[in-house]
Chains A and B, each alone.
Chain A
Amino acid sequence: MLPSVLVANRGEIARRVIRGCRRLGVRAIAVYSEADAGWPHVADADEAVLIGPPAARESYLDFERVLGAARTTGARAVHPGYGFLSENWRFAKACEEAGLVWIGPPWRVIQQMGDKVAARRRMREAGVPVVPGSEGALDSLEAAGEVGERIGYPLMLKAAAGGGGIGMVRVADAAALPAAWASAQRRAQAAFGSGALFVERYVTEPRHIEVQVFGDTGGQVVHLHERECSIQRRHQKLVEESPAPAVDPDVKARLVDAAVRGARAVGYVNAGTMEFIVQGREAYFLEMNTRLQVEHPVTEEVTGLDLVEWQLRVASGEPLPLPQEKIVQRGAALECRIYAEDPAKNFMPSPGVIGRLALPAGPGVRLETGVAEGVQVSVHYDPLLAKVVTRGDTREEAIARMQAALDGFVVEGVRTVIPFHQRVLASAAFRAGRVHTQMVEQGGFNA
């Protein structure tokens, strides 16, 4: 087992990884910015290193400062968490060159899956269904028009180098294409330094269903079943669950099969997620996240497995702890992300100082919390404060436990999305499993 791990992240995910290290007797080293000196992840670690000012690009995103902290503390490995440097192949490569073990897939896999056009092509070659669209990045408006004729409207223009929904433009019909093309190209250039675009069919009201996969250095790849993550705003997830409700077993079987096939095709190692959009019986590959996901606890709750432990074991060169047939999905689990955002003001950020904080507890209730009373929730970082995860023998039981848990969750000093979650959980559509990714923006859960 690795003797020590530098956790290149903050907040709840840093604490989650540190806890996983502790369980295996691995020394956990935190890094922190000046804004985070009083945060719990710093206190949790065996050792903590100040790496710079509050702005992420001068601290958590700065290669040299993070690598410098690894050097001075003698860390053997780096766990990137999610966000920040987790999907930056150059950083993964820099870790490798510095003699550090990267707790994630090989940097070439991150690079390949980070290029959305290359990933799409690679997946199609591996027999994974992809959304109908252009074969690769397009060099002209005329080429986009030809693809539009072939696949039909509405369609989406996406940045080849993009992700997270940034720079995507929906095109209603052929007449709207020229203006949309110019706008998407400008945005892609500004956001990613490349104006390369590709075209995909716009799938109306799809569900977002993803499959957790895991690979080891011996070439074994397994899946840990699916997660439904359709409740989103601005392409960011708010509620996740496993199993996905009201999905035909045949559709699920095809999803997990495609996920494993795709991961195997790229030589995937460690934890990853294959994301799909699903509409009725159609399922298409969306993208692969080459890291641990925010919502990994719902998978842990239905499988009884510790994904951080698996990550550390695989990064140490051990084989996957279990074969596919021993990885069983039992009961149901649900996660609500508690963001410092105001749902009454279109999910505007709500920074501030955490006043009183009362966390729910009880059977089947799990909290992943990054904050504590008195900490400043700053404008510099993601607004995720905590994740509430509930489990039940049935989905109904997990939902009931979530409703009770959210009733008992008190956070003062910032606004949170808890009232929004309460409306989702009470809604007939959610309870029936009739969800899609556009519901929140359509006002489906408005007060």
Chain B
Amino acid sequence: MPEEVKAHITGVVFQITSKAGDHLAAGDPVVVLESMKMEIPVEAPRAGVVREIKVAEGQTVQEGDTIAVID
């Protein structure tokens, strides 16, 4: 079952730390957001393989936006 990974805060994509095909464990960072001078990782909600990263570095994302999809 694919699962969407959503941003839990509003911020700017600071760093993309995973790519399509990566195997992630639950809690691994998918991307790192920067908001108000803080770097905040968006973590994989469960173990899986990254199907798609839907954001680019420097892009602003709103809370609830889809960051990535994992299988």
Interface residue? A247 (CB, 8 A) = no
Bound complex: CA of A379 vs CA of B61, how far in Å? 10
- Chain B residue nearest to A234 in the complex (CB): B38
Inter-chain contact A380/B12, CB cutoff 8 Å? yes
Report the interface size for chain B: residues with CB under 8 A from the other chain.
12
How many A-B Cβ pairs are below 8 Å? 33
Chain A residues with CB below 8 A from B37, complex form = 381-383
- Chain B residue nearest to A342 in the complex (CB): B9
Bound complex: CA of A55 vs CA of B35, how far in Å? 11
User: Residues 1-43 of chain B: 1 if any A CB is under 8 Å from the residue's CB, otherwise 0?
Assistant: 0000000111110000000000000000000001111101000
Closest chain-A Cβ to B49's Cβ sits at a distance in Å of 25
Interface centre among A341, A348, A381 (most CB of B within 10 A): A348
Closest chain-A Cβ to B60's Cβ sits at a distance in Å of 7
Bound complex: CA of A234 vs CA of B37, how far in Å? 12
User: Residues 342-368 of chain A: 1 if any B CB is under 8 Å from the residue's CB, otherwise 0?
Assistant: 000000110100000000000000000
Bound complex: CA of A348 vs CA of B36, how far in Å? 9
Bound complex: CA of A341 vs CA of B10, how far in Å? 12
Interface residue? A340 (CB, 8 A) = yes
Inter-chain contact B10/A379, CB cutoff 8 Å? yes
Closest chain-A Cβ to B61's Cβ sits at a distance in Å of 9
Selected contact of A381 from candidates B10, B36, B40, CB within 8 Å: B36
The B31-71 residues at the A interface (CB cut-off 8 A) are 34-38, 40, 60
Residues of B within 8 A of A (CB): 8-12, 34-38, 40, 60
Which 7 pairs show the lowest CB-CB distances between chains A and B?
A: A349-B36, A383-B36, A349-B35, A379-B35, A379-B11, A351-B10, A382-B37
Add 18 more A-B contacts to A55-B12, A349-B38, A383-B36 (CB < 8 A): A234-B38, A340-B36, A341-B36, A348-B40, A349-B9, A349-B10, A349-B35, A349-B36, A349-B40, A351-B10, A351-B11, A351-B36, A379-B34, A379-B35, A380-B12, A380-B36, A381-B37, A382-B36
Q: List 22 A-B contacts (CB under 8 A).
A: A55-B12, A234-B38, A340-B36, A348-B8, A349-B9, A349-B10, A349-B11, A349-B35, A349-B38, A349-B40, A351-B11, A351-B36, A379-B10, A379-B11, A379-B34, A379-B35, A379-B60, A380-B12, A381-B36, A382-B36, A383-B36, A383-B37
